[in-house]
Amino acid sequence: MRPAPSLGYTRRGSGEPLVLLHGLGSSGQAWNPVIPLLAERFDVIVIDLPGFGDSAPLAADAEPHPAAIAAVVAMTLSSLGIGTPHVAGNSLGGWVALELAAIMPVSSLTLLSPAGLWRDHTPRYCRISLRAHRALARFGRPMLRPLARSRAVRWVMFRQVVGRPALMSAAEARQAITDLGGAPGFRATLRATLPRAYAAQGPIEAPVCVSFGTRDLVLLPRQSRHLGQLPVHTRVLPLPGTGHVPMTDDPVAVASLIGRTAHPGTGRQAADDIAADRGDRLSPGRPRR
């Protein structure tokens, strides 16, 4: 049996384990805006999926579809002694989170604009958008990274993916360009997802919440938000003013949503506690430095 690749990860905080999974063409660093908020209450494990960030791709003969990626994530968590974690995933990471719940017990699932909720294969609109963004980042990195200092340029570059591009810092924009343009696993992972859609493999008893940003221009409602395969107890909540990747748009709202899903019995108090911990709490219209 071929050994599983070693996945890069960062770990911060204390409490119940919470695993964060990023989207296609990104890395664990996409979660940086919310990690300080979550680390006050959770043992946060941020994983780089195979072929992204600090993680090597799967072997050349291994197809990196979401279920295969989930299996490698499960092995990594087992090696860390982590069982029954809370899991939150964005985009591809949301799809992987669902596949992970089919092979290991989880305490809760928070799905932020999860991929895979289309009828039978990736819609053409998504394919074109992903490939266009990848090409721009891959071939335009030398020019785009310096230009990321401009809020106007960030708006043009990230408008389809992020709800409020002006709230991204220049460093966050440069990191996003680097991750997307340089990820060795992008092509194979995209190709592996194209003919597939998420199909439930069994019941998920844990709390599940799915949320799409009201400014998500990647997963269109009629194409990519079919919820029939999700558990019947799934809560569906919007993230107002956020895009497909919502972490820079409103980190307080994202962290609060994850906290409420992990501990639904605490109601609104969990969200208020997370927000109160942020001394410089961000309002929807307040720009970030």
The reported pLDDT for the residue numbered 4 is 56
Q: 249 vs 201, 230, 261, CA distance in Å? A: 33, 26, 20
- With respect to residue 1, please indicate whether it lies within any of the assigned structural domains: no
- With respect to residue 118, please indicate whether it lies within any of the assigned structural domains: yes
**pTM, full prediction:** 0.91
Query: Which CATH number belongs to the domain containing residue 104 in this structure?
Result: 3.40.50.1820
Q: What is the pLDDT of residues 83-99, one digit of tens each?
A: 999 999 999 999 999 99
Q: Work out the pLDDT band at 5, boundaries 50, 70, 90.
A: low
Region class of 43: left (phi > 0), else alpha (psi between -120 and 50), else beta: beta
CB of 117 closer than 8 Å to CB of 287: no
- With respect to residue 273, please indicate whether it lies within any of the assigned structural domains: yes
- With respect to residue 54, please indicate whether it lies within any of the assigned structural domains: yes
User: Structurally, how many domains does the chain consist of?
Assistant: 1
In the predicted structure, residue 149 carries a pLDDT above the cut 60: yes
Q: What is the pLDDT of residues 151-160, one digit of tens each?
A: 888 888 899 9
- With respect to residue 284, please indicate whether it lies within any of the assigned structural domains: no
Rounded CA-CA distance 155/140 in Å is: 16
Q: Work out the pLDDT band at 287, boundaries 50, 70, 90.
A: very low
- With respect to residue 286, please indicate whether it lies within any of the assigned structural domains: no
Buried residues in 109-145 as b, exposed as e (16+ CB within 10 A): bbbbbbbbbbeeebeeebeebbeebbeebeeeeeebb
Q: In terms of residue numbers, what domain contains 252?
A: 9-277
